[in-house]
Amino acid sequence: MSSRIIVVGVLLTVSGAHAQDAGTNTTDVRAKVIDDLVAANRILADQGILDGYGHVSARDPEHPDRFLLSRSQAPEMVTAGDILEHDLDGNVIATRSGVNPFLERFIHAAIYRARPDVNAVVHCHSPSLILFGATAAPLRPLYHMSAFLVGGVPVFDIRTVAGDTDMLVRTPQLGQALAKTLGAHTVALMRGHGAVIVAADLQHAVFRSVYTELNARLQAQAMALGKVKFLDDDEARKAEATMGGTVQRPWELWRRKAMK
């Protein structure tokens, strides 16, 4: 068992997926992801993307068939001791009495299963995104900060999959249907509920969550003023190539503010 963990760690170090430098060992890599996951919870709460609800997860760098997600509680209160390991069916690996997982953990499980490129998932109910899940207006990149929306933002309508529900993605089947709607996109809206935002790491997932909400707020205001000039696909791809490389800057700022 231990030899398998070492092999996985070497691969991650070589690929540089999470390692800070070539000398980082597996325990350090996993500890850093958990540290960043706690920070991501606090940042997303501080930035108004998550409130008492919503969650953020990370794929386990030592076990790519598992993910790390807090027990069911408000994101602002999450500490390292609250992080539970889940398998890709949404089961908690080591259950503890009195510790409840999130009802909607199947969102994360299904996306990690469907998207090997994804290592971080945010599920939020941030207010401006609700507008675009509830209307026919497509969410599109309005400025360079949200250029990652290039390629479109699909809308998951739970009614088309399961009829009248309580709107929660509370089964593996609903998670799979949502992951199918997300496809290869970075964001999917959920009608009457919220959104999922995915990325290759927590820093990008947090960045995209903040700027998807800001884009939606600005777009709703712009649409009230008149015809909107969105970024075209070429502009958005060029802007994303530049801005995607700068996410460490706001991450460090937001982290400092949120962890005070």
Q: For tokens 């000039």, what's the residue?
A: 229
Q: What angle do CA 145, 151, 153 make, to 5 degrees?
A: 80
The residue to which tokens 């709107």 are assigned:
167
Strand partners, 85: 68
**Unique residue bearing structure tokens 């309005």:** 142
Q: What is the DSSP letter of 210?
A: H
Residue 121 and residue 186: Cα distance in Å, rounded? Answer: 10
Catalytic residue among 62, 76, 104, 240: 104
R_g over Cα of the chain: 18
At position 73, the amino acid (one-letter code) is: Q
CA-to-CA distance for 49 and 123, rounded, in angstroms? 9
**Known active-site residue 104:** yes
> What does the CA dihedral 244, 46, 109, 200 come to, rounded to 10 degrees?
10
Q: What's the CA gap between 205 and 168, in Å, rounded?
A: 21
55: helix, strand or coil: strand
Catalytic residues: 104
